Amino acid sequence: MKLSERKHFILCSVIEDYIKDAAPITSGGVQDKHIPKVSTATLRNELNALESMGYLKQLHTSGGRIPTPEGYKYYVSTLLEDFEVSEDKLKKVQKFLDNETSSLTQILSGIAELISETTNYPTVMIANGYDKLVIEEVKIIPLIDNEALVLFRTRSGIVKNSMQTNASEKVCDDASAFLTRKFAGKTIGEMLEGDTLIKSLGEVQTFRALVNSLLESMRKFISKTKIDIRGESAVNLLNENERRSIKQTKKILSLLGDKEELYNQVETSSDDITVKIGEENEKMEGCALITAPIVIKGAPVASIAVIGPDRMDYANIAQALKIVMSELNKTK
């Protein structure tokens, strides 16, 4: 809903105040802090209008108001429209990406840790796009104890897996060359589909069993959702200086411990930041989830989410996520 300039200013200002101190919003408070030249009667009318639009709600008939999920969403959408890069955050992200490892799993884990440290809230990363990665090279490296390391070098980073095999180094090299020749330029998902690969092996019996084992191990690897939970910041939710209910903190900790529910909440097909706020889901009552896709070199490989109370620092979180998304899209 389009708001007038004054309503927009009032709504965004009082939400920022509420995030800081959790004090209910009153016309007198708005006048004292933000618009001293406007009467409290006029400001009361503005707050009544914002309430009727669904952006604020009154806890008690004679009490102040608090933001609703719709109010928070309006506020976040405004933040993203007026997005300004923080130089400190940008340098931190650029430093991480400059020093990134080639392992995609480690890259994603590092991003989750960086976001959690930057925002001071628990963060969840779900790697759900490995099957869409485009293969550049396949390498099978025999190790000890009948085990081999499988490396898929893709445009978005290296995917590592292991498998059981007693194949010799020569057989591993031959199978690696075959898989690279046949599937370079195709996705991991395409490699795993159908029986085209098996038929194409023809009379090459020396590495048929090795390739079969590799396919089976990769199917299991892809089918397992990779969830990286950075919950160290959850202790900050118990900070005694924060006016936050124990009920909210318990909801967040409960959600962090439920991987199936986390997947349902975090997994997204959106190409931008999305916001979910408590009242939409009983399991998230009083909580909020800000989710963003992680796209590396054009491939959507994961979804990341920051979890916290509905009265959390949306500006800091949205900015951190937006910077990471922007910088990842720039990677060559």
Residue 286 phi, psi dihedral angles, 5° rounding: 80, 5
Which of 272, 256, 266, 248 is CA-nearest to residue 305? 266
Residue type (1 letter), 123? T
How many other β-carbons are positioned within 10 Å of the β-carbon of residue 5? 7
- Strand ranges across the sheet with 157-164: 135-142, 147-154, 157-164
Q: What is the pLDDT of residue 129?
A: 86
Cα–Cα distance measured from residue 172 to residue 165, given in angstroms and rounded to the nearest whole number: 10
Q: What is the pLDDT of residue 295?
A: 87
Cα–Cα distance measured from residue 12 to residue 97, given in angstroms and rounded to the nearest whole number: 33
Q: What is the pLDDT of residue 185?
A: 92
Residue 86: both structure tokens together: 């923080």
Residue 11: both structure tokens together: 């709504």
Q: pLDDT tens digits for 280-331?
A: 566 777 788 889 998 887 888 899 999 988 888 888 888 888 888 887 777 6
Which of 319, 320, 325 is CA-nearest to residue 116? 320
Q: What is the pLDDT of residue 11?
A: 94
Q: What is the pLDDT of residue 169?
A: 93
Q: What is the pLDDT of residue 264?
A: 82
Contact 187, 133 (CB under 8 A): yes
Flag residues of the chain having pLDDT under 70.
1, 61-62, 82-87, 89-90, 94, 96-102, 194-203, 234-245, 278-282, 331-332
Q: What is the pLDDT of residue 5?
A: 92
Q: What is the pLDDT of residue 241?
A: 43
Cα–Cα distance measured from residue 178 to residue 180, given in angstroms and rounded to the nearest whole number: 5
Could you tell me the pTM of the whole model? 0.79
Residue 232: both structure tokens together: 């160290």
Angle at 47 between CA 45 and CA 53, to 5 degrees: 105
User: 43: left (phi > 0), else alpha (psi -120 to 50), else beta?
Assistant: alpha
Q: What is the pLDDT of residue 6?
A: 93
Q: How many residues does the chain have?
A: 332
